[in-house]
Amino acid sequence: MMQPNLPSAGAAFEEPQIRVRPAWITGVILVNLGINAAFYGPLQVLMGLQAEHFDPGQKEAILALVTGCGAAVSLVANPIFGAFSDRTTSRFGRRVPWVVLGAVLGAAALFALAGAPNVAVMTILWCLVQAGCNAMYAAITAAIPDRVPVPQRGKVGGLAAMGQTVGILLGAVIAAVVSGNIAMGYIFCAIALLAGVVLYLFKSDDAALDPAALEPQDWGAFFAGFVRPFRHADFTWAWITRLLVNVGNHMITLYLLFFLKDGVKVQDHTGLTPEFGVLVLTGLYAVFVIITSVLAGPISDRLGRRKPLVIASSAIIALASLILAFAPTWIGAIIGASVLGIGFGAYLAVDFALITQILPDASARGKDLGVINIANSLPQVIAPALAWPFVTFWGGYVSLYIAAAVIGLLGAVFVVKIKGVR
């Protein structure tokens, strides 16, 4: 049975020195896996099919509406839940309660999505999925700088990225296996989300915070705290670079199902259904993300240098977009997905380690990482708003993927502005 952890309040804020054990790392991996299965099974296939079911002629607009509203919720949920977890005084620790509550909320909303009768209900339920999963993600992300010493963060960041990627692949597998049964797909995603938290609950070693150590809540200071990290130039540039790279990446992946169906016409040329094509490409992408995230993180630990790997990986992501733009074929899609996996795997591992080293306040890691995670969520609003007119009015998928490459390259350029990390 899970045992409460009761170290001193200072232990929750100190820079960790003891290397974490494999069981703890595995628990973090599985939480990330469950979150991403719950996110990307719907995002990659299920919601696209559901949008097409409601109105085939407006499927792109419906998908943009639903994902944009969900992303707007995540913009608020991630930093808010991160800040709440910083001040949580549960006897089981600061982060564990939010992992549990988020999993329950997210799974309940996914179960309900299986029977959503219209676009409005679908949108509300997806917003609840985003709220629950972002509570989990805020807490589990903050647990890494809470527990992992700097020389181990590249490795742990890479393994967490591996869990995220396997979750993305699992989501695609679920969507493909259910063969168009949208309701069953949502149910399997909910089960994956709940199953992913079990090991972490027993192995979290989450440091409990003594309520007496907390000052009374000042709500003015609380809300001002979401802006305060931007007084630190390194934090600001890290946020901007992550935003740009993620906007480019989301523009690449948002309409992948429709790109294969309408741009590549994969079923006409290969006999594969677009849904199965998404699974194949996601599998290739996942393999390369796993390889490069597991390799790049420890390499950056040994070198003591993060920025050159972040810049190189951002440029590789942009190259993948250009491949899709100028080779809109099934072979081009395979190559593009592989290159994207190579770049994004290294980026996920090393950029996360870099960010944990420039956080302004050890007592507010959850809140500050939540603010950083806005740069993961905001692209889900920006990318659909940018992508839809490109696809519909401004040249189709070729212009879409060129724009994605340009935006991602800007992210690579601005990494050089970060001065506090090599």
Confidence (pLDDT) at 328: 87
Triad 35, 39, 42: Cα angle to 5°: 145
In order of their start, the domains of the chain are 21-210+225-417 (1.20.1250.20)
Q: 24-37: buried (b, 16+ CB within 10 Å) or exposed (e) per residue?
A: bbebbbbbbbbbbb
Signed CA dihedral, 310, 292, 344, 331: sign only? positive
Residue 265: what are its φ and ψ, rounded to 5°? 55, 55
Within a 13 Å sphere around the CA of 154, how many CA atoms are in the beta-carbon half? 21
Confidence (pLDDT) at 4: 43
- d(CA 236, CA 418) in angstroms, rounded, equals 9
Best CA proximity match to 84, nearest among 75, 95, 73: 95
Confidence (pLDDT) at 8: 42
Which residues in the chain come in under a pLDDT of 50? 1-9
Q: 107-125: buried (b, 16+ CB within 10 Å) or exposed (e) per residue?
A: bbbbbbbbebeebeebbbb
CB 117 within 8 A of CB 182: no
In whole angstroms, how far apart are CA 213 and each of 190, 363, 413? 37, 11, 42
- d(CA 93, CA 387) in angstroms, rounded, equals 41
Confidence (pLDDT) at 3: 41
Q: Does pTM top 0.85 for this prediction?
A: no
Residue 271, classed as helix, strand or coil, is coil
CB 162 within 8 A of CB 292: no
- d(CA 7, CA 71) in angstroms, rounded, equals 36
- d(CA 146, CA 50) in angstroms, rounded, equals 40
Confidence (pLDDT) at 1: 35
Residue 232: what are its φ and ψ, rounded to 5°? -95, 120
Residues 6+ apart with CB under 8 A from 194: 34, 103, 104, 107
User: pLDDT tens for residues 4-34?
Assistant: 443 444 556 677 778 889 999 999 999 999 9
CB 367 within 8 A of CB 79: yes
- d(CA 65, CA 384) in angstroms, rounded, equals 8
User: pLDDT tens for residues 113-158?
Assistant: 989 999 999 999 999 999 999 999 999 999 998 889 988 988 898 8
Give the helix ranges, DSSP H, for 114-231. 119-147, 150-177, 182-195, 198-203, 219-224
